[in-house]
Structure 1
Amino acid sequence: MNPPRLGSPIVPASPHPHEDLLAHLARTTPLAPGEAARVVAEVLAYFAETTEEYVRRRHGELQARGLTNEQIFTRLGGELAARRVAAPQLSVRQLRRMVYG
C-alpha cells in the first residue's frame, strides 16, 4: 500500500458504532474514553456468545468452583432466562415503520 501523497485528502476514521455510549460513560463515570471503549468491547463480547458457548463456558467455571451438574444445570436455567438476546436483523422498511408507523 502506498503512503498518501502530500495534498491527498485524508479520510477520517469511521466513528465507533457505540460512540454515544462511550461519550455517556466518559461523562458519567471516572472512566477515560479508552477505558470506556474497552469496557464496552468486553460487554459486547460477553453478550455475543451463542447459547452453546455460554453454557459450555459457564459449566466449566461452575464445575471448577465445585458445583455438581445438578446445581450447575439449575443455575444455568435461571441465568439463561435472564440473559439479553440480540435483536433480529431488520430491513430498512422495518426500521422505517418503527419510526413512522
Structure 2
Amino acid sequence: MMSGVRDADLIERVASSTGLSPNVAARVVEDVLAFYRLPAEQYVRRRHAELQAEGKKNPEIFPVIAAELRGRLVAAPVLSERQLRRIVYG
C-alpha cells in the first residue's frame, strides 16, 4: 500500500505509463480518487457557488449541475432540480 492507496497495480500502471516515480504516481492516483469520492452534496454546493460567481442564475445553474452529475465517472444519484435546491439551500 502506497500513501493510503490500496491498489498498487493502479499505481504501478500510472507510474509505468507516465514515467512518474511510484511515489508521485501514488499522489496523482490519490488526488484523482479524492476528486471522484467527493459526495454529490458537496459537489453540488461547490459547483453552485462557482457558477454563481460566474454570474449565472439558478434557472441556468441547476440544469448544468444535473447534467454534470450524470456525466461523472463515479455516477452520483440522479437528482431533480428540487433536490438540488434542497442541497444548496437546505
- Higher-Rg structure is 1
Instruction: State percent identity of aligned pairs.
Output: 46
Say which of 26, 37, 42 aligns to 2:15: 26
Q: Structure 1 85/74 Cα, relative in aligned 2: closer, same or farther at 3 Å?
A: closer
Q: SS in structure 2 opposite 1:62?
A: helix
Mapping of residues 1-101 of structure 1, within 5 Å: 15-16=1-2, 17-83=6-72, 84-85=74-75
Q: What's the Cα RMSD here?
A: 1.7
Q: Distance in 2 between matches of 1:66 and 1:85?
A: 27
TM-score normalised according to structure 1 size: 0.62
- The structure in which a higher percent of residues are helix is 2
Bigger RCO (CA 8 Å, 6+ sep): 2
Unaligned stretches of 5+ in structure 1?
A: 1-14, 87-101
Q: Distance between the aligned counterparts of 2:28 and 2:54, measured in 1?
A: 26
SS at match of 2:15: helix
Structure 2: 5+ residue stretches without partners:
77-90
> Contact 2:69 / 2:75 at 8 angstroms: preserved in 1?
no
SS in 2 for 1:67: coil
